[in-house]
């Protein structure tokens, strides 16, 4: 790990202990020329990104290191800002269906399923009616929620930063069960979102483990470690799993980890099917027979599904803090710290298009639905883009 990354992570981890937010790459400006974020290079644009609509949603990500990802359900996209503004918009034209102003700082979300919109705060989970935006219920949890809760319509599962995973009655929010996992002394600020598959829930933790629990009572089904702490210092021993978990079409769970492995796990047995030694705190996506990953330096990589062979790597976004890659049409899309959206070919990783969406940058994972890419910038601009 470079000295620059160690310095950033040290300050990040210490700030986490005091309850402050952080950006793992945003606190220090590197002194060495070779450690500065890469300058954007010119290329021959093959496609252009056209803005279909954009809507401002409150304060956006706020001044903490939030990654408030919108959620799509049916023909509606739901988005929330840190200052409590929550809205439902028509997916095609951005027309507002409802707007709610909550008296909370939103820190985790958004998820939308089974008629509910779920959000996390510094001490609670809130459920809204997906049709009206009215509050259905609010329930306290043990600590801050930094990821989107999940629900199957009967149970709402919430992950908090203290290593607890809790199940709540979807009708009133009352707690049904709780699972506790060991939290390391230092941790990056963030958690991946739990996912529910049939009758079990899968979640990943800051100590590098992934677990599967029965969704109705929290009973442990299996536990698998994808990253093992090594080294002398607490910084060297950071092994967080903060990126979104992804279930592939062939029933494997993809779990990227920081300073660990990028692993594919069988969702039924918990056995690791294959793994790659790579470090990331973002999620992954699949497309064109590949798995796409943004590593800790911001290099975008493509691995063939089920293999550890690198298909291609694009290092032109070095230290530009690109988020999780998104498969979009025939392209891979990533957003960076200056608010640019970059399109790359899924075949060889070359740049084919670029546009700037938000000068405050892009932290939240982007969403793709059909031929449209949805980008929620840090300043609060939600933008729909298409390729022309």
Tell me the CA distances in angstroms from 160 to 108, 179, 206, one per residue in order: 9, 11, 11
Task: Answer whether the bond into residue 295 is a cis peptide, omega within 30°.
Answer: no
| Bridge pairing between strands 164-169 and 155-159 | antiparallel
What whole-number distance in Å separates Cα of residue 367 and Cα of residue 385? 10
Higher pLDDT, 188 or 141: 141
Q: What is the CA radius of gyration of the chain?
A: 19
Residue 9 confidence (pLDDT) above 50? no
Sign of the dihedral through C-alpha 168, 169, 170, 171 = negative
Neighbours of 269 (CB within 10 A): 12
Residues in the chain: 388
Average pLDDT rounded to a whole number, residues 128-138? 98
pLDDT digits (tens, 9 = 90+) for 272-292: 988 888 888 888 899 998 999
pTM, 2 dp:
0.89
Cβ(374)–Cβ(72) under 8 Å? yes
Q: Cα 73–77–143 angle (5° rounding)?
A: 85
325, 334 in Cβ contact below 8 A?
yes
Q: What is the largest CA-CA distance in the chain?
A: 56
pLDDT over 70 (residue 229):
no
Per-residue pLDDT of 299-317, as tens digits, reads 999 999 877 789 999 999 9
| pLDDT at residue 19 tops 80 | no
Q: What is the pLDDT of residue 12?
A: 45
Helix (H) or strand (E) holding 180: strand 175-180
Contact 263, 295 (CB under 8 A): no
Q: Which band of pLDDT confidence, cut at 50, 70 and 90, is reported for residue 242?
A: confident
Contact 387, 357 (CB under 8 A): no
Let me know: does 196 contact 221? Beta carbons within 8 Å: no
The pLDDT value recorded for residue 31 is 44
């Amino acid at each position: 790990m470079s000295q620059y990354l160690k310095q950033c992570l040290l300050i990040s981890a210490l700030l986490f202990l005091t309850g402050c937010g952080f950006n793992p790459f945003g606190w220090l400006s590197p002194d060495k020329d070779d450690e500065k974020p890469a300058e954007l290079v010119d290329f021959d644009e093959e496609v252009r990104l056209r803005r279909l609509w954009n809507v401002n949603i409150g304060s956006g990500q706020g001044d903490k290191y939030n990654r408030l990802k919108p959620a799509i359900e049916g023909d509606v996209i739901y988005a929330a800002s840190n200052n409590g503004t929550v809205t439902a918009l028509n997916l095609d034209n951005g027309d507002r269906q409802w707007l709610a102003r909550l008296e909370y700082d939103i820190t985790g979300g958004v998820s939308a399923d089974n008629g509910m919109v779920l959000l996390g705060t510094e001490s609670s989970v809130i459920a809204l009616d997906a049709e009206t935006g009215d509050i259905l219920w609010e329930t306290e949890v043990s600590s801050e929620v930094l990821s989107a809760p999940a629900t199957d319509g009967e149970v709402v599962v919430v992950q908090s930063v203290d290593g607890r995973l809790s199940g709540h009655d979807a009708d009133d929010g009352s707690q049904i069960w709780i699972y506790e996992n060991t939290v390391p002394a230092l941790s990056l600020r963030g958690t991946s979102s739990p996912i529910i598959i049939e009758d079990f829930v899968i979640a990943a933790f800051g100590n590098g483990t992934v677990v599967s629990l029965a969704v109705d009572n929290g009973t442990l089904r299996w536990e698998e470690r994808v990253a093992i702490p090594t080294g002398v210092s607490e910084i060297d021993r950071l092994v967080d799993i903060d990126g979104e978990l992804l279930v592939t079409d062939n029933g494997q769970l993809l779990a990227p980890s920081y300073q660990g492995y990028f692993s594919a796990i069988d969702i039924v047995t918990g056995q690791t099917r294959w793994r790659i030694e790579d470090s990331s705190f973002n999620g992954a996506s699949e497309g064109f027979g590949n798995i796409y990953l943004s590593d800790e330096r911001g290099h975008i990589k493509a691995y063939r599904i089920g293999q550890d062979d690198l298909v291609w790597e694009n290092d032109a976004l070095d230290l530009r803090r690109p988020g999780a890659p998104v498969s979009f049409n025939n392209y891979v899309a990533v957003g960076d710290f200056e608010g640019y959206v970059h399109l790359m070919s899924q075949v060889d990783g070359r740049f084919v298009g670029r546009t700037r969406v938000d000068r405050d940058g892009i932290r939240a994972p982007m969403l793709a639905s059909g031929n449209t890419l949805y980008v929620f910038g840090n300043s609060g601009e939600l933008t729909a883009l298409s390729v022309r």
